[in-house]
Amino acid sequence: MIDQHLQTRSSLEHSKVEIITLNPTENPRNWPTWKKWTVVGAITLVDLSVSWGASGYSPATAKFEKDFGVSSEVGTLGLSLYVLGLALGPMSIAPLSEYFGRTPLYIIPYGCFLLFLMGTALVENLGGFLPLRFLSGFFSSVTVANFGGTIADLWDVRHTGIPMSIFLWAATCGSPSGYFLMSWVAQYRGWRDVFWALLGICGGFWIIMSVTLLWAGETRHSIILLRRAKAERRRTGRENINVPEHMRQRGVRQLFRTALTRPFRFLFTEAIVVFAAVYNGYLYGLSFLFNGAFNIIFGPSGKGFETYQVGLTFLGICVGISLGPLTNIWQERYYQKRVGRAGGTNIPEARVQLGQLAGVTFPISLFIFAFTSYVRLSWVGPVVASGLWGWSFYTLILMTYDYVEDSYGMYSASALAAVGLSRNLMGAGFPLFGRQLYTQVGGYQYASLILACLALLLMPIPFVLSRYGLRLRQRSPWAREMMEHDGQSAGKPDEVALEDEEKASQ
């Protein structure tokens, strides 16, 4: 009887599930600061090149159209199909990190992108070129799919502001800087040489990223734990070792069902996501529309610039965007002060302070751009206006990303996927009507005025988020769950909760 009791007790102890958690030595958030920034720096280079693959083609579009004997509308498809691939790629690539980790999903898809990039330089017919452009965009979307997650792996939510600002600087500055760089190639060489140049640059960035990520190791917490659990089961022979429930791998069907359906649920039911998607979509749509619009305004039919000179005008946007991370230092200090006064409670509304200013300067920059785009006027006015637009563009994109991520926590991947889908779909669509807009509405200035008036309609969004963001989060099942998880007053009446938040900000 005693032996049987001991055997039963041993069996029960053996069958009890042992949950393992990240220890300090293996947690990427405890890596040295220099190691974190080495990883971010390597991925940032690739993030820049993702947009270069889109806008780098634009200065060579005229030569492509002449070589293949196609219209400007067909030539623009080379840009739009790439951006469409950027929109759809993350929906398939991002979920796979749950099985393979982030490192392989940076290295392998981007390596495929390089092969398709080579294909576009060699292809001899339009029927092959256009699918290759779509596939190039699809497989280059690795940073869109993974970079935000990598930042969350390396920093807790209160300290993601600065690295997120670097990520979004690369994402926003990539389009104008890509046009600027490749305009020099397009000026003196053929359109195929543009793709060869991109292949050389992107290939070098791929090598840097691959070596860095393989040296640093995996960053996704669930993958690190799953690998350790597997090693422990193999070492001890015990099958009762597992990871926390929220880190366990889902079935492939469930994984992709969630990845493919939840972003649309967010996009059609969550007011916060709708605001962010509309703003992101319009801003990114304009950034790619400008590829054609600048060529019309500053090119031979406008101010008479050559291809490389049109490329130089994009430096105004680049300078404006590059000022964004600097001004964000002030925004980040303001956010940390608000959070500190609230006892460490997360306050997404503290992220929108500069966004309110950018919401005003965004339409103003377009109005200035419109009234200075007359052929008889100097090029200085529209370039300066584009710099103000670039700062507004960056600041508003950063505001929406930070606000969405802070609001939805562990659900932010789906929320940001919805925002990213809208952003790149509109980025793909805007260039298709940009040329017609700037050539058929009576003058360049009238086209820009239309864009400025549409921007006015979006101006209230940052102010709505600042004043009513807490109420919107309370009414969202996902955001409310994150508030309750963080110990916030998600269940209080709106007026009481708002009073608490206002007291915390004083």
Domain ranges of the chain: 17-249, 253-506
CA gap 373, 383 in Å, rounded: 9
Q: Is the pLDDT of residue 434 over 90?
A: no
Same topology for domains 17-249 and 253-506, yes or no? Answer: yes
The residue behind tokens 């206006």 is 385
Q: Is the pLDDT of residue 3 over 50?
A: no
CA gap 112, 92 in Å, rounded: 15
**Secondary structure of 101-129 in the HEC alphabet?**
CHHHHHHHHHHHHHHHHHHHHHCCCHHHH
Q: DSSP letter at 491? A: T
CA gap 480, 496 in Å, rounded: 16
Neighbours of 478 (CB within 10 A): 23
Cβ–Cβ < 8 Å for 287, 431: no
Tokens of 415: 């929320």
Task: State mean pLDDT over 416-444.
Answer: 83
Q: Is the pLDDT of residue 245 over 80?
A: no
Provide the mean pLDDT of the chain.
85
Query: How confident is the model at residue 494, as a pLDDT?
Result: 39
Task: State mean pLDDT over 180-185.
Answer: 94
**Secondary structure of 356-395 in the HEC alphabet?**
HHHHHHHHHHHHHHHHCCCCCCCCHHHHHHHHHHHHHHHH
Question: What pLDDT, in 10s, does the model give residues 342-385?
Answer: 887 888 899 899 999 999 999 999 999 999 988 888 889 999 99
CA gap 328, 294 in Å, rounded: 28
CA gap 145, 87 in Å, rounded: 10
- Nearest Cα neighbor of 171 from 48, 287, 278, 290 is 48
The three-point CA angle 209-214-217 to 5° equals 115
Q: Residue 461: what residue type?
A: I
Q: Is the pLDDT of residue 498 over 80?
A: no
Q: Is the pLDDT of residue 11 over 70?
A: no
Query: How confident is the model at residue 13, as a pLDDT?
Result: 44
CATH number assigned to the domain covering 253-506: 1.20.1250
Neighbours of 245 (CB within 10 A): 7
* Second-level CATH architecture of 17-249: Up-down Bundle (1.20)
CA gap 163, 151 in Å, rounded: 7
CA dist 154 to 248, 351, 374, 395, Å?
Answer: 20, 20, 49, 23
- If pLDDT is split at 50, 70 and 90, which confidence band does 1 have? very low
CA dist 164 to 313, 325, 363, 398, Å?
Answer: 27, 10, 25, 8
Strand partners, 19: 242
Cβ–Cβ < 8 Å for 120, 129: yes
CA dist 419 to 349, 382, 412, 424, Å?
Answer: 18, 29, 10, 9
Where do the H-state alpha helices sit in 189-314? 191-216, 221-236, 252-269, 271-298, 307-313
Question: What pLDDT, in 10s, does the model give residues 208-222?
Answer: 999 999 999 999 888
Q: Is 70 left (phi over 0), alpha (psi -120 to 50) or beta?
A: beta
Q: DSSP letter at 60? A: G
Query: How many Cα neighbours within 13 Å face the side chain of 366?
Result: 25
Query: How confident is the model at residue 159, as a pLDDT?
Result: 83
Q: Is the pLDDT of residue 176 over 90?
A: yes
The model's pTM is 0.88
CA gap 86, 135 in Å, rounded: 9
* Sequence-separated (6 or more) residues with CB below 8 Å from residue 137: 53, 54, 81, 82, 83, 84, 85, 86, 89
Burial class (CB in 10 A: 0-12, 13-18, 19+), 53: buried
**Count of all residues that appear for the chain in the document:** 506
Q: Is the pLDDT of residue 8 over 90?
A: no
Q: Residue 314: what residue type?
A: F
Task: State mean pLDDT over 20-47.
Answer: 90
User: What helix, strand, coil percent values describe the chain, rounded to 5?
Assistant: 85, 0, 15
Question: What pLDDT, in 10s, does the model give residues 113-152?
Answer: 999 999 999 999 999 999 999 999 999 999 888 888 888 8
Cβ–Cβ < 8 Å for 404, 152: no
Q: Are strands 241-242 and 18-19 parallel, antiparallel or unpaired?
A: parallel
Q: Residue 70: what residue type?
A: V
- If pLDDT is split at 50, 70 and 90, which confidence band does 437 have? confident
